[in-house]
Structures are given as C-alpha cells and as structure tokens.
Structure 1
Amino acid sequence: MQVIRLEALSDNYIFVLNEPKQNIAAVVDPAEAEPVLQKLQELKAELVAIFNTHHHQDHIGGNRQLMQQFPNVIVYGGAEDKGRIVGQQVFLQQGDRVEFADRTAEVIFVPGHTRAHIAYYFPPDNPSETGELFCGDTLFAGGCGRLFEGTPTQMVHSLSKLRSLPDHTRVWCAHEYTLKNLQFALTVDAENTDLQRRYDEVKTSRSQGEATVPSLLGVEKQTNPFLRWEQPALQLATNTHDSVQTFGRLRGMKDKF
C-alpha cells in the first residue's frame, strides 16, 4: 500500500492510499476534492473508500464531490459522528476493523479534539516494517489537537492509546503545524536535547519548503510534550505532579502561545 501526501487549503494534508495492482485507492480526510481527483486521474485508480477521522469541514469538505465522481465509494467515520459527516455509511467504534486492498486497519476511538474522533492504524505486515497511523487532529508532529469537544482526561486516555503503538509507526497527521509546535515545546522542555535537535532539523526542512509529515512515533515520544506528561521537566513547568493536570495546563499554555 502506497501512501501519497497531498497539500490542501492553507496547511492541511490529505492522504491517498494507492494499490496499483488493483487500480484502486482510498483517501483519508479529503479536505477538498480537486487535488484528490487530479491524483486519482494520474494514478488511473478508482476511489473505493473515504476514511474520515472526524466531522470538521477541513476533513470532510471533499466528500460530496468525490461521491458524485465515484458513486460506489464507501464513506467511513466514527459512530458518534452520525449525522455530521457527509455521506457516511459505516459507523465505526473502538476495535472495529476496516479493509483496503490487502491491508486491514484497526479503528482507535480517540475523543478529545472532538467527541467522536477516531484514528486508523494499519499494522505492519512484519515487525521490521513501519505501521501507518492516520490520526487526524488528535496527535500532531510535536503537538496535539485543541480540545473543542473533549476534556483533558479524555485526551490523555486517547493519546495513551496512540503512544502505546510501536515506535516505528509513521504518524500521518492532518496539518503542517510542526515548527510552531516545536517552538512551544522548547518553552516547556528547553533542556531536552532530542527536542533541540529536532527543532533545528524541522526549521531547516521548512525553510526549504519540505513537509514534516509523516513523523515517527518514537520521535514523538522523545520530543512531543503532549505525550510526555509524566516527565519531571514538564510537571515542573506546569506546577503539578498530576498527569492529567500537567497535560491540561500544557494544552492551555499552547492555546495562548
């Protein structure tokens, strides 16, 4: 399965999953239809699935037009998003499985950013390969999503699920926020040498117009403050030893950054 990253809107990423042997494709969070249609034409592929992570318009904005072009496409989303995702036909819960080509993804329920958010995790075919995590706006490279409909407790639980995946999992998050996220991270975890190194690398990449997505989950565990709520430096920065309070205060600080 080939993953193709497309740019959309101001800072969104759309992900096309391509299976050239069968000339079929799926798309994750089509913010808009046009870049997807152009890529499908280039690939000569039929769109068979739309995998939505949540209901926000910058993740489902292309659904309707893609459905018009591919009437047999199946639209997936979280069960609790019923009525909020255009064209949704399949209503997914924690532990469900979805298939594309010869790959099977595990559905992970990750409320916090929204009350109905889900992620799709394609485990590797063998342990030496990378898994693929499509996490929408729950986990970002260097950050996490705002809490629009959820609580810090929910988000810590959701991020704990993602954090438990293997280090060599590729994190396909839906926005190019990495540089700003790492700038904030340095204000609360300044002595983290892994973070310092990553910031320098990302700064160089962005100055050259290069994308920072996907990232690796192992790198996130070392440098992303929103996966590191037990770390003494972050608890000191937030003046609490409670994990949920540490996370919640970090999120509040980031909201004002």
Structure 2
Amino acid sequence: MRIVPVPNQSDNYAYLIIDEAGKKAASVDPYAVDKVLAAAKAEGVELAANISTHHHNDHTGGNMELHKQLPNIPFYSGSQKAPATTNIVSHGDEFKFGSLDVSCHSTPCHTQDSTAFLVHDKSTGQKAVFTGDTLFTAGCGRFFEGTAAEMHKSLNEVLAKLPSDTVVYNGHEYTRGNVKFALTVEPKNEALRKLAEDTAANSQTVGKYTIGDELAHNPFMRVHVSEVQEATGEKEGAKVMAKLREMKNKAHPHPNFRRSKQSNTIQDGKGSENKAAEKHPPPPPPPRRTFSDKNPFSNLLQSSKPHLPPRQSAPDTQTETASTSTRNQNDVSWFKPPPRPPAKPRLVGLQESRRPNLMQRSRSLQISASEIRSLFGGEQGDDRNGGNEESEEAWLLRNNTINSSNSNNSNNSNNYTALP
C-alpha cells in the first residue's frame, strides 16, 4: 500500500490510496478532480473507488465531476449528504478494495456523518487512517454539528483505540497553529517540543505521525492528564474537551466565521476552515437607523420632508387661548390633554357667607329695582336721599339686610361675603 497526498487548495488535502498489487487507487476527499486524476496518471494507476470522510464542500466539491467521468466506480460516505454517494457506511462496516481491507469508524461532531476509514494492508502490515476534519496533528476539528461529549468519544474512545502504529492522514495542514496552542496548555511536554521543532523545519507534516504520537502530544487526546486539567480548570473528560475547544477558538479565531453567543464556537454554512479567507474579513454591518425617544416618526418627517413647517396642535378652548404658541413636534402630550380641575370660589374673607346675594338673584329673576324697593317698604320716586335719585346698586346695598340690622354691630369684621 502506498499513500499519495494531493494538495487541493491552500491547506486542503486529497489522497490516493494505491493498491500496488492490482495497480488500482481510491481517491479520498477529491475537491480538485483534475489534480487527483493527474496524480493517478502520474502514478500509473487506475482510479477504482472514492471515499468521502464527511460532506463539507471543501472535501466533496469534486464528487459530481468525478462521477461524470467515472460513473461506474463506488462512492463511499457516511451519509447521502456527500454528492454522488452510492454506498452509505456505518460504524463497524468493512469492505475490501483490491487486496486492502477497509473498516469504518463513525466519529460524529465536526459533522454528524464524519467517518474515519482505517485501511490495512495485511501483506505488509501497514495501517493508515483517514480522519478528515475530526483529528488533526496536535488538534481536532471544530464542533459544527456536535458536542464536546461527542468529540471526546470520537477521539478518546474510538480513534485512541486504534493500533498505535496507525499513520494519521487528516484533511488540512493546521499543524503549526495547533502546536502553538498546545504549548500554551502543556509547555513542559517534551513530545510537543519535539513536534514544534519538526514543524518549524517542515511545512508539510501530513502522514508523518501516528495514533501513538497523537496520544503523546495532542492536548485533545490528553484530557485525562493532570497538566491539561489544570490548564482548563476541569476534571471530567467532556468538560475538559469543551474548555480546550473554547480556548482554541479564542486563540485562533476566523473572522469570516460567525461566532455563537452561547457556546463560543464558530458557525459556518460550509464548515470550511480555509485560512485564506482570513485575509478578507466580511464588511461591517450597516448602521442601524435611530429614532427619537418620544416620536418615532420625527426623524422620518425631517429627512423626507424637510421643507414642511413644524407641526402645530389645534388650540384647546378649555386650556389654551387662540394664540397658542407653536409646539415642539417631538412633544406628543397634546394627543391626550390632562383634564381641567373644577373651579373653586374665590373668597374675600375667612369663610363663605350664607346670606343671599340679592343683586345676583335680581339679575337671574329679572326683577326691577322698583319691585325690590317695594319689598322693603319704599315706593318708586320716594325721596330718601334729599330728593336725589339713587342708583339701583347703591339702594340695594343700603337696604341690604346686613346694613339694616341695628341690633348688631354693622361694622363687625367677622362678616364676609363670597364674590361670584
């Protein structure tokens, strides 16, 4: 068995699994079909099968084109979401490719259909596992469709139980960034320091490390180690996994992804982790329109019809005069004017007099002055003031019962009358 990496994009990898006994090959995650077919031609092998580790476009973008050119070959995948899938596999399934034995291991979290394919060449004893975006060198994929508990199970219960000499082939070249983060978690890890030296000298690290190596330097597969637990502040495996992923997201965010407010994970429609997109962050959102606190339509009125005069309210005859000043157009209190309190009598003394107001009664009853004089014993034309005619108001005041009472003090200061 021979494995040939085929770079697809800036950091994506497709692979050719070559069965040298039959001179046939299976492609893994072919995004750029022309490059995969060119590599197969250069190796002198015939492409006889295709394997998809998960359905994301940067791993399955070439499936339909490959199916058009090779319609008779089988397409293996964990779900129908991968284009052109002909054979859906589940955890524990096995199939043969030429002289090679292939076993399927479900590893849901990055996507729910993520599947690791373990290829075993019994003639040479070689073992290789294709993990897609679930397991990277010194790292793991983002939790796009799963939970920390699922990733903990996929890494530390499924992949960790594979033979330690199994060579790991993942979907992206993320080793340098993963090592930089891992050193912040375990700065004294000697295996991690050695990996950092190898990574600094070699930009391509795919296919150089085994499951045993990952157990020694990958913090996501060392959640049981005390130093990793101290760095995260957690003890339980799934909680340590969740904290590590949160720390990794903060240390290496992708500006083209949407950050979730609840889990602090990165959400993306395609699930791609292409670093080339970091150079072109999305434009900022447009500013939101703001309105006045009192009148939400005031800004619209000013912007759409600036030539209109300020709006005036209709005068209220009960509370305002006809010459009401112009109101502030942001003031909406004129919609519901407050009720006017009832008028109170205006007093000229300490208490209101209960004696009748004869002048007011005479006006309401329309009684003439002569009739009022007759009530008090006088006649019209009677000379009571030296032959001079008195005015009606003076006569009424002089003949008022208050002034005609001689028994009481007419100048008593305790007598008051309420004015109308």
Provide the TM-score with structure 2 as the length reference.
0.58
The alpha-carbon deviation at position 62 of structure 1 amounts to 1.2
- 1:118 matched to which residue of 2? 115
- 2:234 matched to which residue of 1? 240
The alpha-carbon deviation at position 20 of structure 1 amounts to 3.8
Query: SS at 2:36's partner residue?
Result: helix
- 1:249 matched to which residue of 2? 243
- 1:132 matched to which residue of 2? 128
- Structure showing greater Rg: 2
Tell whether the 8 Å contact from 2:31 to 2:62 is kept in structure 1 after alignment. yes
- 1:154 matched to which residue of 2? 150
Structure 1 stretch displaced more, 64-73 or 238-247: 64-73
Tell whether the 8 Å contact from 2:19 to 2:100 is kept in structure 1 after alignment. no
Query: SS at 2:83's partner residue?
Result: coil
Runs of 5+ consecutive residues of structure 2 not aligned to the other structure: 252-420
- 2:94 matched to which residue of 1? 97
Aligned residue identity for 1:149: E
RMSD: 1.4
- Paired with 1:197 and 1:56, the residues of 2 have a C-alpha distance of 33
* Deviation per residue, 1:55-89 (Å, 9 max, x gap): 000110111111122121111100xx22x111001
* Deviation per residue, 1:11-48 (Å, 9 max, x gap): 01111012244332111111221110111222333221
2:4 corresponds to 1:4: yes
- 1:213 matched to which residue of 2? 206
Instruction: Summarize the alignment of residues 149-228 of structure 1 with structure 2, pairs less than 5 Å apart.
Output: 149-160=145-156, 161-206=158-203, 211-214=204-207, 215-228=209-222
- 1:14 matched to which residue of 2? 14
Q: Which has the higher contact order (CA 8 A, sep 6+)?
A: 1
- Paired with 1:109 and 1:190, the residues of 2 have a C-alpha distance of 32
Aligned length: 249
Report the CA distance shift for 1:153/1:71 in structure 2 as closer, same or farther (over 3 A): same
- 2:33 matched to which residue of 1? 33
Query: SS at 1:53's partner residue?
Result: coil
Tell whether the 8 Å contact from 1:40 to 1:46 is kept in structure 2 after alignment. yes
Structure 1 stretch displaced more, 31-40 or 183-192: 31-40
Tell whether the 8 Å contact from 1:136 to 1:174 is kept in structure 2 after alignment. yes
- Paired with 1:130 and 1:190, the residues of 2 have a C-alpha distance of 33
The alpha-carbon deviation at position 110 of structure 1 amounts to 0.4
* Deviation per residue, 1:173-221 (Å, 9 max, x gap): 1110001100000011111111111111111112xxxx10112111111
- 2:382 matched to which residue of 1? none
- Paired with 1:100 and 1:28, the residues of 2 have a C-alpha distance of 13
More strand by share: 1
Aligned residue identity for 1:64: M
- Paired with 2:94 and 2:205, the residues of 1 have a C-alpha distance of 28
Aligned residue identity for 1:140: F
The alpha-carbon deviation at position 124 of structure 1 amounts to 4.8
- Paired with 1:190 and 1:55, the residues of 2 have a C-alpha distance of 36
2:18 corresponds to 1:24: no
More helix by share: 1
* Deviation per residue, 1:87-136 (Å, 9 max, x gap): 0011110010122111111100000111111110123527x843110110
Provide the TM-score with structure 1 as the length reference.
0.93
Report the CA distance shift for 1:167/1:20 in structure 2 as closer, same or farther (over 3 A): closer
- Paired with 1:181 and 1:49, the residues of 2 have a C-alpha distance of 32
- 2:45 matched to which residue of 1? 45
Aligned residue identity for 2:183: L
- Paired with 1:44 and 1:180, the residues of 2 have a C-alpha distance of 36
- Paired with 2:132 and 2:53, the residues of 1 have a C-alpha distance of 6
Structure 1 stretch displaced more, 65-74 or 53-62: 65-74
Query: SS at 2:103's partner residue?
Result: strand
Aligned residue identity for 1:213: V
- Paired with 1:115 and 1:130, the residues of 2 have a C-alpha distance of 28
- Paired with 1:23 and 1:123, the residues of 2 have a C-alpha distance of 16
* Deviation per residue, 1:219-238 (Å, 9 max, x gap): 11100001000010110011
- Paired with 1:107 and 1:228, the residues of 2 have a C-alpha distance of 24
